[in-house]
Every structure is written in structure tokens, then in C-alpha cells.
Amino acid sequence: MFLPCLLKFLSDLSFLFMSVTHF
């Protein structure tokens, strides 16, 4: 149960990080 939430969080975080670094 916990793992899927963590993976989703990591994917969102990495996406945000990519957006920030690209900017």
C-alpha cells in the first residue's frame, strides 16, 4: 500500500525537478 504512493510521489517530484532544472 505504501510503496505505490511513494512511487507516485517520486515520479511527481522528479517531474517537478525536471521542469525546474529545464527552466
Query: pLDDT at position 2, please?
Result: 82
Q: Is the pLDDT of residue 5 over 70?
A: yes
Environment class of 13 (CB within 10 Å of its CB; exposed 0-12, middle 13-18, buried 19+): exposed
Mean pLDDT of 9-17: 96
Q: Which are the contacts of 12, defined by CB distance < 8 A and separation ≥ 6?
A: none
Evaluate if residue 11 carries a pLDDT over 70.
yes
| Average pLDDT estimate for 8-22 | 93
State residue 1's pLDDT score: 66
Q: What is the mean pLDDT of residues 1-23?
A: 90
Evaluate if residue 9 carries a pLDDT over 70: yes
The most distant pair of C-alpha atoms in the chain lies apart, rounded to whole Å, by 34
Q: What is the CA radius of gyration of the chain?
A: 10
